[in-house]
Chain A
Amino acid sequence: MSQISPSLKKRMYCEMVLIRSFEDRLVQMAAEEGRLPGMQILANGQEAVAVGVVRALEPEDVLVTNHRSHGHLLAKGADPGKLMAEIMGRSTGVNKGKSGTLHLAVPEVHALMTSTVVGASPPLAAGAAFAQQYAGSGSITVVFFGDGAAAEGSVHEAMNLAGVWKLPVLFVCENNCWAGAQALHEHCSVGQIAHRADGYGMPGRFVDGNDVEKVYATSRELVEHIRSGKGPALMEALTFRMRGHGERDHQLYVDKEELARWGELCPVRCYGEKLLAEGFLTAGERQAIQDEMEGRVKGAEAFADMSPFPAPEEALDDLWVVEPRQYRSRNRR
């Protein structure tokens, strides 16, 4: 991994710590009665996938994601304060409180579309990638989906279309070992989802999703392939869902020893220790990064707390560019 510069290593570590701090804070807030509306579907333990993939992209490359999106969006450069405000349903949120945690769209950093309909993101990404190919922009689209989503027909349709048309899209399957309460072998016909790439005429790679440098290196290889016009690629990153599907899911169906084993493989802590051992970080720098990122999350929370909720009647806004008249007309004339 000699091609990864010391500054990039440090940057990737910082981003992973930011994401972990952000979601750890959400875990705490979700435990406080009435603090957060709705459910929190978190990606603690999957930070290396988000950061390793996004660092292999150019800023104008498009990101399409799913219900477990906070890490992807923070890595792409979304503002933590506006994300936190959105998660709390505030008017200063990135989508004015219309999205909440589940459907965040941050077009200002080219994170264009997020769908919580499992398996819906890949067809959206194929559409975005088609537009890039059509315009000859040289940009690509990356889409994140889970091992559970891989069972959806829409994923098959999107990967087949992308393969036939050689669309510039990187399909990233974050295999976090659990789809709802089902383990992989209970819902997936193959041991490795990456093997399905053969069926769509695209390269498939399986990577240790808890190792940010391996994720980055594999992403770089596939992004180069895609950007050179050779068509799409699939990367499966094996990682683990450390929290349940929502903070009220206590994962009683997950073996405690399995959870503990993956806890020891924590991508954030392991990478910090590795950089320390290899001399890329000092203990003092590591602590300073931790403090700085926790401080940013505190700042984000304070910003969100100060922000008002949108007015109830603003629920009527933002559906249409040109609104049909019939919906607001209460009276005859």
Chain B
Amino acid sequence: MAELSYGQAVQDALRVAMRSDDRVFVAGEGVGISIHADPNMPTFSLLEEFGARRVKDTPVSEAAIAGLAVGASCMGLLPVVEIMFFPFMTLASDMLVNHAAKLRYLSGGKSSFPLTVRVKTGVGFKAGCQHSHNLEAWMAHVPGLKVVCASTPEDAKGLLLSAVFDPDPVVVIEEMMLYWMRGEVPDGDLRVELGKARVVRPGSDATVVTYGAAVYTALEAAGMLEQEGVSLEVLDLRSLVPLDRDAVFESVDRTGRLVTLHDATKFCGFGAEIGAMVAEEMFDALKAPIRRVAAPDIPVPFTPPQEEFYKPSAGQVVAAVKSIL
């Protein structure tokens, strides 16, 4: 056990994977020598340990980076490539949507593509909407891609190691606002099974289903509601695909009330899928309508008061819960 930052936990996962298996390599823009020489950055110091054969700084070419992962994984390697910021995923998306996700299916199951794409997401670093855009629902909508997002250093390590050794393509979304957040992380080859949600805080009056940095918004709301005698359960999905349906059902069975929460925009957001699933499969267990808390349907604004306005707040979660009690 060691106390690591979220970014160091990512490094730790990559070190464990690369030490144990020569098929693993890392590639992306600045994954070796970076303009961000911060020890909490996710690929910091990997170049020193593993050398330029396995830590590949690429040209600024997202399509080529993603194509590298698809082609190399088809040959049996276990690529871990980085797309620097989620909005740049558009440039890599043909390789992921049309190739990583489909080529196994098109081959009739003959080929496989055990690749991992790491991508940074998050709201709050004041770079505007072409660096901040939570596009996880896009990725989750593509059959053939697995999608995970950790909220803690321990999960950041365990989910990434599971992704690297998973035989299917996995998009690992990293919350860059959490890179400096510290927590206890088990040593060695830690795996967090893909498709297993985690009850972060048990409760009995309502369930908030969330993931990523929004978990902390939910926890803040749970603390506020506790002052008023309301018990909020916080469920961290950790994995959007595969989705832990049973964990959602089990929680809503007990609480009878569902609120979904994410930093992505509301319309066609992942909360809509969770809400529809619960309404479709366990309507009778609901004591009240479902509520969705999400960002307004606008690009992430730049100027600090507007960016703060954009990000769903604990107050909004509290209001949503109260509206269905």
- Please tell me if the beta carbons of B111 and A326 are within 8 angstroms of each other in the complex: no
- Please tell me if the beta carbons of A322 and B108 are within 8 angstroms of each other in the complex: no
- Please tell me if the beta carbons of B71 and A95 are within 8 angstroms of each other in the complex: no
Contact of B106 among A99, A160, A324 (CB under 8 A): A99
Most chain-B Cβ atoms within 10 A of its Cβ — which of A107, A132, A164, A326? A326
What residues of chain B lie closer than 8 Å to A324, measured between beta carbons? 146, 195, 241-243
Instruction: Indicate with 1 or 0, residue by residue over A130-143, a CB within 8 angstroms of chain B CB atoms.
Output: 11101100000100
What residues of chain B lie closer than 8 Å to A114, measured between beta carbons? 106
Contact of B53 among A124, A134, A154 (CB under 8 A): A134
- Please tell me if the beta carbons of B67 and A126 are within 8 angstroms of each other in the complex: yes
- Please tell me if the beta carbons of B281 and A331 are within 8 angstroms of each other in the complex: yes
Considering the complex, which residues of chain B in the window 65-111 have a beta carbon less than 8 Å from any beta carbon of chain A? 66-77, 79, 94-95, 98-99, 103-111
B211 CB within 8 Å of chain A: no
Known contacts A105-B111, A125-B71, A326-B242, A153 near B168 by CB under 8 Å: no
Contact of A322 among B56, B111, B166, B282 (CB under 8 A): B166
Known contacts A96-B109, A131-B71, A131-B75, A124 near B99 by CB under 8 Å: yes
B192 CB within 8 Å of chain A: no
Number of A-B residue pairs having CB atoms within 8 Å of each other in the complex: 166
B44 CB within 8 Å of chain A: no
Contact of B107 among A107, A128, A132 (CB under 8 A): A107
Known contacts A120-B94, A123-B64, A320 near B99 by CB under 8 Å: no
A130 and B111 alpha carbons, distance in the complex (Å): 18
B58 CB within 8 Å of chain A: yes
What residues of chain B lie closer than 8 Å to A98, measured between beta carbons? 105-109
- Please tell me if the beta carbons of A319 and B75 are within 8 angstroms of each other in the complex: no
Known contacts A124-B71, A332-B282, A105 near B110 by CB under 8 Å: yes
A154 and B168 alpha carbons, distance in the complex (Å): 23
Contact of A97 among B63, B69, B70, B108 (CB under 8 A): B108
B-contacting residues of A (Cβ < 8 Å)? 62, 64, 93-99, 103, 105, 107, 112-115, 117, 120, 122-132, 134-135, 141, 153-154, 157-158, 160-161, 164-165, 317-322, 324-327, 329, 331-333
Interchain residue pairs with CB less than 8 A apart (30): A95-B110, A96-B108, A98-B106, A103-B106, A112-B74, A112-B111, A113-B71, A113-B103, A113-B111, A117-B94, A117-B99, A123-B66, A123-B70, A124-B70, A124-B74, A127-B68, A127-B70, A130-B71, A131-B77, A134-B25, A134-B53, A154-B63, A157-B63, A157-B67, A160-B64, A161-B64, A318-B109, A321-B167, A324-B243, A332-B282
> 6 tightest A-B contacts by CB?
A127-B71, A123-B67, A324-B242, A131-B75, A321-B167, A96-B108
